[in-house]
Amino acid sequence: MDGRTAAGGGETRFDMRDPVWREDPHAVLRELRERDAIARDVLGIWLVGRHADVNAGLRSSRLSREPWRTPVYRQLRPFIAESPMERMVEQWMLFNDPPKHSRLRRLANHAFRPPVIDAMAGCIAAVADELIDALPADGTPFDLMAAFAQPLPVRVICDILGLPGDDFATTKA
């Protein structure tokens, strides 16, 4: 399998349940960007591959950020109903429409004003340097996402919240 299935009329539909998505989602998404830019998963989930299209969709008042408004969510809900995960996601700013999204964004914006970010630059650079220093220097292959790109924002957020930075490794999924 290659992460795609043939749909009626010769249309290619992507299937995010396919193991290829876990093994190499970048190759499948690259194909999406090059060919269609916008497609639907076999479950009905829209896949948007180009930045301009994602930006337009996120700014559109015709689209919702709330996953529980989609038919796909109704299929998934029996597996997560009333779970801590469902209750947590319902509170995330990114998964809410205005006015709740607007209220949460106003609260979060205070932490990301330029003077606050400027004051954190030294700490962010120190965390980045620490992560870079931990990378193999002998040419051994490594996963840049796992070794640097994912831990960097987690460590910075831990610093912002006053949490021990070393604890983040124990919470990885």
Q: Based on the fold, state whether residues 42 and 122 are members of the same structural domain.
A: no
Q: How far apart are CA 47 and CA 38, in angstroms?
A: 6
Q: Based on the fold, state whether residues 36 and 84 are members of the same structural domain.
A: yes
Q: Based on the fold, state whether residues 36 and 67 are members of the same structural domain.
A: yes
Q: What is the pLDDT at residue 62?
A: 87
Instruction: Give per-residue pLDDT as tens, 95-112.
Output: 889 999 999 899 888 888
Band of the pLDDT at 1, cuts 50, 70, 90?
very low
Give the domain-ending residue among 57, 91, 109: 109
Q: Based on the fold, state whether residues 79 and 137 are members of the same structural domain.
A: no
Q: Based on the fold, state whether residues 77 and 35 are members of the same structural domain.
A: yes
Q: Based on the fold, state whether residues 142 and 164 are members of the same structural domain.
A: yes
Q: Based on the fold, state whether residues 105 and 117 are members of the same structural domain.
A: no
Q: What is the pLDDT at residue 45?
A: 76
Q: Based on the fold, state whether residues 78 and 11 are members of the same structural domain.
A: yes
Q: Based on the fold, state whether residues 164 and 122 are members of the same structural domain.
A: yes
pTM value? 0.51
* Distance, C-alpha 141 to centroid of its chain: 25
**Number of folded domains in the chain?**
2
Q: How far apart are CA 25 and CA 14, in angstroms?
A: 11
Q: What is the mean pLDDT of residues 21-29?
A: 77
Q: Based on the fold, state whether residues 89 and 123 are members of the same structural domain.
A: no
Instruction: Give per-residue pLDDT as tens, 28-51.
Output: 788 888 877 888 888 777 888 888
Q: Based on the fold, state whether residues 11 and 36 are members of the same structural domain.
A: yes
Give the domain-ending residue among 66, 88, 109: 109
Q: 33-44: string of b/e by CB count within 10 Å (b at 16+)?
A: eeebeebebeee
Instruction: Give per-residue pLDDT as tens, 45-83.
Output: 788 888 888 889 888 888 888 887 877 777 767 766 777
Q: Based on the fold, state whether residues 18 and 69 are members of the same structural domain.
A: yes
Q: How far apart are CA 19 and CA 2, in angstroms?
A: 9
Q: Which domain holds residue 100?
A: 4-109
Dihedral sign for Cα atoms in the order 10, 16, 20, 21:
positive
